[in-house]
């Protein structure tokens, strides 16, 4: 029995090594692709910004969308609560950028359990253009953002464009989360895109044709899903549209969090993956080479095989993290906390194991149940 366990752990180590190597290849192949801007293709865009409260550096983040070097675009800020402190910032932006078409929509209309989607549904009623862009409130962009991000839409088959992000964090706890995004999450996305092109999207940026949104049933179709951004890529892909991953990198401004907050957030998203894509969730096991090589060393009681597997696996894990996190994404968090990667991997593996058990999550003060497919059900009292 022990021999079988050793072989299984060795196989997991070898698969993880292959994953690390392929991640490096996928990142280099993706970001060395040429990108050009066709000045004749700059279609009008409506930007939908769902707002709830004031994020870190909120004014600077939102203002970056008002400073686009782009001929025609509209921004709709959507807020649910008339007492939301973000309204004062939005009104200030309207005064600061009089030449930008900015609107504020305040509505508490709810269409489902995901209140962010209700915000989007309320905002889209004022949209003037056929190309919609959705970006979370904690995203900051450069002035060339719109020019770059719309270019894939020259292909009529492309219905959705999304992009990756660089997380800017303060404090070691939040940096710990950002480290995982840069060195684990992004490699997985790049591998997926290299193998078969992605069929999902990220809240950092989602450009979607209005006709593609209507084809999936509008925002009502995703109103009860936790991973609304995933669905805004997945459902159009199922409807026959192509999802394009842009090589433009936006900045993600992370608020300071406690360790408990980060663990709860990771549990929430991992459980969402478990109920939405169980095979994908199980597949994460093959990326935990740091953990499986350590287990192999312990099981083999410090054998030469165990030490050799651990050294090779950890070296390649760190090389992958440096190439993608530092060389490609220029991520300052990865540079500063590079030595914490093994610790982060061990912690995330423990959360991954815990994610198998339980179906309840806490989100914005609400107790919710996740059901198969990733839908949310509000719970009055949940154990």
pLDDT digits (tens, 9 = 90+) for 128-162: 999 999 999 999 999 999 999 999 999 999 999 99
- Gap between the Cα atoms of 68 and 146, Å rounded: 7
DSSP 343: H
pLDDT of residue 382: 43
Model confidence at 45, pLDDT cuts 50, 70, 90, reads: very high
- Please tell me the predicted confidence (pLDDT) of residue 383: 39
Average pLDDT over residues 341-370: 83
pLDDT attached to residue 364:
64
* Proportion of the chain above pLDDT 90, given as a percent: 73
pLDDT in tens, 166-214: 999 887 888 888 999 999 999 999 999 999 889 999 999 999 999 999 9
3-class SS of residue 94: helix
What gap in Å lies between CA 287 and CA 18, rounded to an integer?
A: 9
For position 380, what pLDDT does the model report? 55
290-304: per-residue pLDDT in tens?
999 999 999 999 999
Tell me what pLDDT residue 363 has: 66
70 Cα distance to chain centroid: 25
Cα distance between the two ends of the chain: 37
3-state secondary structure (DSSP) of residue 253: strand
Going along the chain from its start, the domains and CATH numbers come out as: 30-257 (3.90.550.10)
Q: What gap in Å lies between CA 104 and CA 48, rounded to an integer?
A: 10
């Amino acid at each position: 029995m022990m021999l079988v366990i050793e072989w299984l752990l060795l196989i997991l180590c070898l698969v993880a090594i292959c994953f690390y190597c392929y991640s490096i290849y996928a990142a280099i192949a993706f970001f060395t692709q040429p990108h050009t801007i066709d000045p004749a293709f700059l279609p009008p865009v409506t930007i939908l910004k769902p707002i709830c409260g004031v994020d870190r550096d909120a004014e600077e983040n939102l203002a970056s969308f008002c400073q686009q070097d782009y001929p025609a675009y509209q921004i709709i800020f959507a807020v649910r609560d008339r007492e939301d402190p973000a309204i004062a910032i939005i009104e200030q932006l309207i005064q600061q950028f009089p030449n930008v078409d900015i609107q504020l929509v305040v509505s508490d209309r709810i269409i489902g359990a995901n209140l962010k989607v209700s915000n989007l549904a309320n905002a889209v009623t004022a949209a003037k253009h056929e190309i919609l862009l959705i970006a979370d409130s904690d995203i900051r962009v450069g002035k060339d953002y719109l020019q770059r991000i719309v270019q894939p839409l020259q292909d009529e088959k492309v219905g959705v464009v999304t992009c990756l992000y660089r997380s800017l964090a303060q404090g070691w706890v939040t940096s710990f989360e950002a480290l995982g995004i840069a060195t684990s999450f992004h490699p997985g996305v790049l591998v997926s895109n290299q193998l078969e092109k992605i069929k999902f999207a990220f809240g950092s940026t989602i450009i979607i044709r209005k006709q593609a949104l209507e084809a999936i049933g509008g925002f009502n179709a995703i109103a009860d899903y936790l991973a609304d951004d995933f669905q805004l890529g997945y459902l159009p892909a199922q409807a026959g549209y192509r999802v394009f991953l842009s090589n433009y990198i936006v900045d993600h401004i992370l608020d300071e969090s406690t360790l408990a907050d980060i663990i709860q957030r990771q549990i929430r998203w991992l459980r969402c993956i478990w109920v939405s894509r169980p095979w994908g969730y199980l597949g994460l096991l093959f990326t935990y080479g740091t953990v499986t090589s350590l287990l192999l060393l312990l099981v083999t009681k410090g054998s030469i095989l165990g030490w050799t597997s651990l050294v090779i696996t950890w070296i390649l894990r760190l090389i992958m993290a440096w190439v993608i996190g530092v060389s490609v994404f220029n991520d300052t968090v990865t540079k500063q906390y590079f030595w914490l990667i093994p610790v982060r991997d061990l912690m995330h593996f423990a959360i991954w194991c815990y994610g198998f058990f339980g179906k309840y999550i806490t989100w914005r003060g609400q107790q919710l149940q996740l059901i198969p497919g990733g839908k949310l059900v509000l719970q009055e009292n949940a154990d």
